[in-house]
Chain A
Amino acid sequence: MEKLKNILNKYETEYVEDYKSNWVKAKLKNKEDLLNLIKDLKEAGVKTCSTVSPTDFIDDNKIEVNYFLENLKDKKNVWLKVDLPRELENCEIDSITPLMPSAKWHELEAYSTYGVKFKGHPNLRYFLISRDYYGKFPFRKDFDWKAHEKNLIENVNSISEEFFEEYEENEETFDKEGSRTVLNWGPTHPASGPIRLKVYVNGENIEKVDADIGYVWRALENLAERKDFIGTIVAVERICFMDNPNPMICYSQAVEEIAGKEITPFAKFMRVILGETGRIASHLISMGGFFGTMGLQTFLMWCLDVREYFLDVLEDYSGARIATACVEPGGVRYPLNDYKAWFETLNKAINEWERVKDDINDIFLKNPLMVSRAKDNGIFTKDDVEEFYLAGPIARASGFKTDVRIDEPYAGYGELEMDYVTCENGDARDRLFIIVKEVNQSIDLIKQAMKKIEEGVEAGEMNPAKDHLVRMPRRMPAGEAVTRVEWARGEMLMHLVTMDKSTSPYRLKLRAPSVNHTMVLDRLISGKTLSDIPLLYGSMHICQGDLDR
């Protein structure tokens, strides 16, 4: 920590201070210093950029750009701020992408939504937003979207036109006599989901892959600004329904931090149980989908069967299967009047998994055809993990020891016993195995948390019928917070800014792991054959919901 502070103090800063246990927060005075500082930090081991998040302070006439830089090995992180003028012409800063490739798409996103120009970015273009927003920077506070809404049909037509132009261009560039062409893999492709991969192929061989995203862009970050602090949960939980509770935990922690409230131990362990249940539900789909991409539906169906039992747990608690809204600032939403009955449901789900676990292992995980296709295919090394910031299961499949639950314990994880689960090779097969291992780990965590709650109730320290929620103030003080959780697909980071006496968030940045995982697809798939696209794409466990937000 001291080392990082010394580096930061070499430059002109407004302040350098500690934040939480493993962050250093600093504000640069001169934006010209940025590149040199990043160079120094990189030498000190801070090699990855988690995200770039501009905040539009319209009253102060400035845009504050936040850089979240992480050292994945030593877990010492830097939160860097730079002020920029708000006028479009002057709102520019040096791009850090040449130094930290992991920032590539985050900078594009910041440019498209806020109009912050990044000098020296290898390919600065509009990204994520649909064509009708090109050049309008919709997340700025002064963007009048009601006026924009009026010409719906023209807007949609302009999107179609963009596609047609591209089509014509492709027809012209590629010779009809040759075997090179562009395949649009998605958004209506059976295995793709709402994303378009422009696959440049020569016969069956892939030359280049270009991802076109934004097909489920809901502008959630902007939507949150129009809801109150409780209502924002609706936006936050819809990042991706596969793992529903964890984003809410992340958001709730940010609000609690700003309000300065501590939640009850019962709520902490409830968050662990709910979060891990969501993780299992998500992993079961990922596991099944991995085989689904190779044309085998049986495993998917078996996984869906088990998943239903875990969804029963969520339904028992909250009344909804996947849109649970079960965590809110101050704790968890509902009391548990009969906690034993709920634990019974949980045990039933766990037993269901234990029952099929051996069959899955024998029939599918050792399947020779799967091994022949996935082994040594699409390898990520540890350096790749740091360079492109692959998070969660993908990083751990390469043997990288990173897990927010251990690095920066939240909810009840600090009091539970857990260790990093890792695989070694980092190929597609390991990315499947790690998920299976993590499901087992989650079940272990759920059992521990259940035990803690039972002990707590017996000792009279917890009351499941009353302890679930701490009263939160309706109006928040001014402040900002950064929280991270280990989501099913990797690290999720939220940056919440509030104004004094506000009833709704001023700015909520959602950083989700699928962005980086999609960014590396080009590197992963180029040079392979057409059959490898669905396999490698499925092995990254990408969800378009958190890719686009």
Chain B
Amino acid sequence: MLKVLDFFNYARSKSPWIVHFCSGCCSLEMLAAMGPRYDWERYGYIMTPTPRQADIIFITGLVSKKILPALLRTYEQMPEPRYVVAIGACAYDGGPYNDSQSVIKNMTEILPADVFVAGCPPKPEAIIAGLEELKEKIKRGEPSASSQGGLWKKMKF
């Protein structure tokens, strides 16, 4: 039985699909990662148009207050098991917008991320490397961080 589950975890780790959601500037580097030079499809990542078929959601950089409900709603629409990847300094603590009024600084307290990718914005190589980290986590069958807790459960969206 354990072997079968391992097999499915392995299959899951090999085919991470990413929902098309951009909330900030880092989505430009996601576009570059899709492009010919970096081409993350080599590793099996593709973008899906709807959250229903996705495994991973990106917090692409800054999250303003207004887009937060939409982000959480998209996350909620994804089927289990679902993972969160935080890209860029903004997703961690607001980054260059740390002084700004309308940007959420504690984004990963609200929606805990499994992997952080550093940079402002991170290079496409870094994004792919971060996703490879996530693959290891999926392969081990660990539950995602966002399913363990986070303020998002208290919010209305």
Let me know if chains A and B touch directly in the complex, using CB atoms closer than 8 Å: yes
Determine, out of A187-195, A255-263, A400-408, the stretch whose residues face the partner at the interface: A187-195
Q: Contact check: which of A155, A188, A305, A322 meets B65 at CB < 8 Å?
A: A155
Q: Does B67 contact A (CB under 8 A)?
A: yes
Determine, out of B6-14, B95-103, B130-138, B140-148, the stretch whose residues face the partner at the interface: B95-103
Q: In chain B, residues 23-79, which have Cβ atoms closer than 8 Å to a Cβ of chain A?
A: 23-25, 27-29, 31-32, 34-37, 49-51, 62, 64-70, 73-74
Q: Does A210 contact B (CB under 8 A)?
A: no
Q: With A and B bound together, what is the CA distance between A223 and B99 in angstroms?
A: 6
Q: Contact check: which of B51, B67, B96, B99 meets A216 at CB < 8 Å?
A: B67
Q: Does B112 contact A (CB under 8 A)?
A: no
Q: With A and B bound together, what is the CA distance between A156 and B23 in angstroms?
A: 16
Q: Contact check: which of B74, B101, B106, B154 meets A145 at CB < 8 Å?
A: B101
Q: In chain B, residues 98-152, which have Cβ atoms closer than 8 Å to a Cβ of chain A?
A: 99-104, 106, 120-121, 123, 151
- Say whether A218 contacts B65, CB under 8 Å: no
Interface string of A329-366 (1 = CB under 8 A from B): 00000000000000000000000000000000000000
Q: Please classify the interface of chain B as helix (H, G, I), strand (E, B), loop, or mixed, using the class held by over half of its residues.
A: loop
- Say whether B96 contacts A130, CB under 8 Å: no
Q: Contact check: which of A138, A227, A545 meets B99 at CB < 8 Å?
A: A227
Q: Contact check: which of B23, B68, B99 meets A159 at CB < 8 Å?
A: B68
Given contacts A222-B100, A304-B32, whether A161 and B66 have CB atoms under 8 Å apart is no
- Say whether B28 contacts A301, CB under 8 Å: no
Q: Contact check: which of A130, A157, A238, A301 meets B64 at CB < 8 Å?
A: A130
Query: CB-CB < 8 A to B31: which residues of A?
Result: 285, 304
Query: CB-CB < 8 A to A304: which residues of B?
Result: 31-32, 34-37
Chain A residue at smallest Cβ distance from B68:
A156
Query: CB-CB < 8 A to A159: which residues of B?
Result: 65-66, 68-69
Kindly provide the distance from the CB of A118 to the nearest chain B CB, expressed in whole angstroms.
Answer: 23
Q: Does A323 contact B (CB under 8 A)?
A: yes
Q: Does B156 contact A (CB under 8 A)?
A: yes
- Say whether A156 contacts B65, CB under 8 Å: yes
Q: In chain A, residues 211-256, which have Cβ atoms closer than 8 Å to a Cβ of chain B?
A: 214-220, 222-223, 226-227, 234-235, 238, 240-242
Q: How many A residues, CB 8 Å from partner?
A: 52
Given contacts A159-B69, A242-B28, A322-B121, whether A218 and B102 have CB atoms under 8 Å apart is yes
Q: Contact check: which of B36, B50, B70 meets A305 at CB < 8 Å?
A: B36
Query: CB-CB < 8 A to B21: which residues of A?
Result: 188
Given contacts A190-B49, A545-B25, whether A216 and B35 have CB atoms under 8 Å apart is no
Query: CB-CB < 8 A to B100: which residues of A?
Result: 218-220, 222-223
Given contacts A190-B49, A234-B96, A301-B36, whether A219 and B156 have CB atoms under 8 Å apart is no
Chain A residue at smallest Cβ distance from B69:
A160
- Say whether A241 contacts B32, CB under 8 Å: no
- Say whether B23 contacts A323, CB under 8 Å: no
Interface string of A143-168 (1 = CB under 8 A from B): 00100110011011101110100000
Q: Does A308 contact B (CB under 8 A)?
A: yes
Q: Does A321 contact B (CB under 8 A)?
A: yes
Q: With A and B bound together, what is the CA distance between A227 and B96 in angstroms?
A: 11
Query: CB-CB < 8 A to B121: which residues of A?
Result: 241, 322-323
- Say whether B154 contacts A130, CB under 8 Å: no
Given contacts A188-B51, A321-B123, whether A160 and B156 have CB atoms under 8 Å apart is yes
Interface string of A129-142 (1 = CB under 8 A from B): 11011000010000
- Say whether B25 contacts A130, CB under 8 Å: no
- Say whether A130 contacts B65, CB under 8 Å: yes
Q: In chain A, residues 172-219, which have Cβ atoms closer than 8 Å to a Cβ of chain B?
A: 187-188, 190, 193-194, 214-219
- Say whether A217 contacts B155, CB under 8 Å: no
Q: With A and B bound together, what is the CA distance between A219 and B62 in angstroms?
A: 12
Q: Contact check: which of B32, B66, B120, B156 meets A130 at CB < 8 Å?
A: B66
Q: With A and B bound together, what is the CA distance between A512 and B46 in angstroms?
A: 33
Q: Contact check: which of A163, A235, A321 meets B69 at CB < 8 Å?
A: A163
Q: With A and B bound together, what is the CA distance between A163 and B71 in angstroms?
A: 14
Q: With A and B bound together, what is the CA distance between A323 and B100 in angstroms?
A: 18
- Say whether A157 contacts B156, CB under 8 Å: yes
Q: With A and B bound together, what is the CA distance between A130 and B63 in angstroms?
A: 13
Chain B residue at smallest Cβ distance from A292:
B31
Q: Contact check: which of A130, A214, A322, A548 meets B28 at CB < 8 Å?
A: A322
Q: With A and B bound together, what is the CA distance between A248 and B64 in angstroms?
A: 23
- Say whether B155 contacts A157, CB under 8 Å: yes
Query: CB-CB < 8 A to A222: which residues of B?
Result: 100-101
Interface string of B86-102 (1 = CB under 8 A from A): 00000000001101111
- Say whether B29 contacts A218, CB under 8 Å: no
Kindly provide the distance from the CB of A166 to the nearest chain B CB, expressed in whole angstroms.
Answer: 12
Given contacts A155-B65, A159-B65, A219-B101, whether A322 and B29 have CB atoms under 8 Å apart is yes
Query: CB-CB < 8 A to A241: which residues of B?
Result: 25, 28, 121
Query: CB-CB < 8 A to A242: which residues of B?
Result: 28
Query: CB-CB < 8 A to B73: which residues of A?
Result: 188
**Which of B50, B96, B106, B155 has most A Cβ within 10 Å?**
B96
Q: With A and B bound together, what is the CA distance between A223 and B20 in angstroms?
A: 29
Query: CB-CB < 8 A to B151: which residues of A?
Result: 153
Kindly provide the distance from the CB of B80 to the nearest chain A CB, expressed in whole angstroms.
Answer: 19
Given contacts A238-B25, A545-B25, whether A216 and B68 have CB atoms under 8 Å apart is no
**Which of B35, B50, B67 has most A Cβ within 10 Å?**
B67
Chain B residue at smallest Cβ distance from A129:
B102
**Which of A163, A215, A240 has most B Cβ within 10 Å?**
A215
- Say whether B96 contacts A235, CB under 8 Å: yes
Q: With A and B bound together, what is the CA distance between A422 and B50 in angstroms?
A: 39
Query: CB-CB < 8 A to A548: which residues of B?
Result: 64
8 further A-B contacts with Cβ under 8 Å, apart from A159-B66, A238-B25, are A130-B66, A190-B20, A194-B23, A234-B96, A285-B28, A304-B31, A322-B25, A323-B120
Can you list 5 contacts pairing A with B, beta carbon distance less than 8 Å?
Answer: A133-B101, A160-B155, A217-B64, A222-B100, A226-B99
The 5 A-B pairs of least Cβ separation, nearest first, read: A304-B35, A130-B66, A305-B36, A190-B49, A215-B67
